Amino acid sequence: MSKTNSTPAETTGDIFTAISTTQPSTTLYSRLASKVPIPSSVTASGAIQTNNFWGNVTLGDQNSYIYTHPYVVWKSTVTDYFGLAVSHQDASKRVYGENNDHGAPSYFYSAAGNMSLVLGSSDFDNDCSISLTNLKKMSIDITLSSSNAGSLTASVLQGMGMVSAVYNDLIPEIHSNIGIASVSGDTAPKAGIDKYKIVLNDGSTWLMYVTLTDNQTCSFALKDSNHIIGSNSINGCYIQVCCGDFSDYDTAAGCYPTACTLSANVDGSVGTYAFNYTTVGSGTTPLIYALPHHVDSFTSTTSGKKSNASLNDTVHGTMVGYLTNIFEMSEQLPTSLNMAPWSAISGFTTPSYSTDELNAIRAAATLDIANDVASLSNLNSMYYSGKILDKFAYVLYVLYYVLADEDSTKSFLSSMKTAMERFTGNTQIYPLCYETNWGGICSTGGMSTGDSSVDFGNAYYNDHHFHYGYHLHAAAIISKIDQIVGDGTWVTKNKDWINNLVRDVANPNEADTYFPVFRNFDFFIGHSFAHGITIYADGKDEESSSEDYNFAYAMKIWAQVIGDTNMENRANLMLAISSRSIGTYMLYQTNNTSMISQYIGNYVSGIKFENKIAHTTYFGTNEEYIHGIHMLPITPASSLIRSPTFVKEEWENFLKNIIDNVTDGWKGVLMLNVALYDPATAYNFFNGSSYSSNYLDDGMTKTWSLTYCAGVNN
């Protein structure tokens, strides 16, 4: 027999209510400013996004790429091409690496820097300046200003079907470094809107719509093979450009989105979320491009708004345009998921254990609880210390809920509290601080020296969801067990510290001005981005899909412990969206029709950027690294994302052929992953005579490995 834990009921309501709006403790957290400043061109109050799709434009010279999908935009500083550059590259122009051991390309990317068109002006010169306003999670306004004339402003959003710029007191000039084969006037789609068809030297066709206000006029003509010039200055008029010659662009012409808000509601185990677009212009319906995982989850509210426009994206397959100002999507939420082992294997119900299995688990636990957790977790890394704390938190779970050993539970709970309180008291080797430039809880490691390599760049907002997810889950288990066998006060004493980690990564509401809204999770892309405040030309990236959803799972368990239904609903929604998105763009079953067909033979993405996917890791090219970093840690949430079908295909078609050559901790990671489709084989490995503790990753214990494998082997 084993104890079980209950699952709270789901409710409806506004799930994006703020966790808190108070500033993090000035006593606990020192105030330090990042070595990376906020540019003077930024107008914003409160915390600023660090891992967002438009992040590159807030860094350095502010002229690196923003990936809006399917377009790429950036400030061009090239002489004769000043302005807002726009690029779209067809799939035929992708660059592929040499085939690897999978027989698939080792990487692919799009050439982002080709300026298909540039929304510019003959008034722009070397002194063309940039300013940023209305910095939101899902949009930003970029203004380029002439030193002696006017300016243009573009609202930049993911999925925007047209790149639109409002011209104020400028003579418009459209550039192309690809070269313009022809430009011709076309039939006006609506009164007050002129239409032009532009054919570039690469064979691509672009449409340009010019909306003229207040009885203004402006005609456009080819100036030379790289420039289209307007006849005169315009004010309050806007120009829209879009790739492809699709008739439904005419329907959307004159209307464009300026902002997007996220909404969601939960009804039982169904979560419905929406992107609500604020629009301006002469029409009421913009064209918004949807990613494949959006299309697969659209409700009838949106699915019927499909247009005839479609474009290849950089790394997400084909995007389809929809004539709508709302994307509404529905997901089945993992409401039954809790602290106990869980599996998507057909026939699984609840974990159960035989006497022999309990004896094996008890023997492993006896050895694991003999460890000095406080000493082992006394590390100069939030990441590695978090892994240590959390692996022993799973042992604490097993002691009470599986082995029903209350005496050992109480004793080990005390050890776990001692270890954890070094961090909740902020007395670890590199304490946390509140970073004041961007707004967030950061490690002080590397903060004063400007060394972005310390603790994987935590001080630069790298990997916060990876690091804090482990601490969050460990704290949730300690709190839960303390409520049962302790005095029940630990959660109250440490709730603010733990909630600050949640706020840092997944603050749900702008009312909380101390942290950006959802620093890591990108609701449009459907997974998180790990990369913070340094420029990457290929955009933001993520290496470990599993440590991504591990944070959402940890947030869910913490929410269950403190009874925060809204937080649990948000976590459930993030998990459901992650399952769909990661299962499309990062984990590839052989029947995947959304991703680039040449690449799915790799089974896993490796490092996924916004413009590139590379089958590698930041720490080495071994296949066990590349596959294993998308597995660890194996938790009750793993099977939700890593389906039994996918795990079986990945294992039987590739990993089983390399496992005998793996002799370190990655062997344990790969073998525990086998439990997601064949738990009996995995259990026999960890309980077999050939097992060695050398096979355990530093975030694994034999206790949890046996408990998970046996628990899901019904």
- Catalytic machinery residues: 463, 543, 547
d(CA 370, CA 391): 14
* Pairing of the two strands 139-145 and 205-211: unpaired
Tokens of 580: 């769909």
At residue 713, the 3 state secondary structure works out as coil
DSSP string, 298-337: B-HHHHTTEEEEEEE-SSS-EEEEEE-SEEEEEEE--TT-
CA–CA–CA angle 162, 166, 169 (5° rounding): 150
Q: 490-506 vs 565-585: helix axis angle to the nearest 10?
A: 40
For residue 128, the Cα-to-chain-centroid distance in whole angstroms is 33
For tokens 């990753």, what's the residue? Answer: 697
d(CA 322, CA 386): 43
Cβ(440)–Cβ(519) below 8 Å: yes
CA–CA–CA angle 647, 294, 8 (5° rounding): 70
**Which stretches does DSSP call E strand in 481-586?**
521-522, 527-528, 541-542
Q: What is the 3-state secondary structure of 196-259?
A: EEEEECCCCEEEEEEECCCCCCCCEEEEECCEEEECCCEEEEEEEEEECCCCHHHHHCCEEEEE
Cα of first residue to Cα of last residue in the chain, in angstroms, is 14
DSSP 134: E
Phi, psi (deg, nearest 5) at residue 315:
-135, 5
Q: What is the 3-state secondary structure of 619-662?
A: CCCCHHHHHHCCCCCCCCCHHHHCCHHHHHHHHHHCHHHCHHHC
Cβ(52)–Cβ(59) below 8 Å: no
The length of the chain, given as a count of residues: 714
* Pairing of the two strands 234-243 and 139-145: unpaired
Cβ(324)–Cβ(304) below 8 Å: no
d(CA 550, CA 192): 52
d(CA 259, CA 278): 5
Cβ(167)–Cβ(185) below 8 Å: no
d(CA 176, CA 202): 11
Residue partners of 297: CB distance under 8 A and separation at least 6: 329, 330, 331, 580
d(CA 514, CA 21): 8
d(CA 607, CA 614): 5
Burial class of 613 by CB neighbour count within 10 A (0 to 12, 13 to 18, 19+): buried
Cβ(315)–Cβ(564) below 8 Å: no
d(CA 63, CA 132): 12
* Largest separation between any pair of C-alpha atoms in the chain: 86
d(CA 7, CA 63): 49
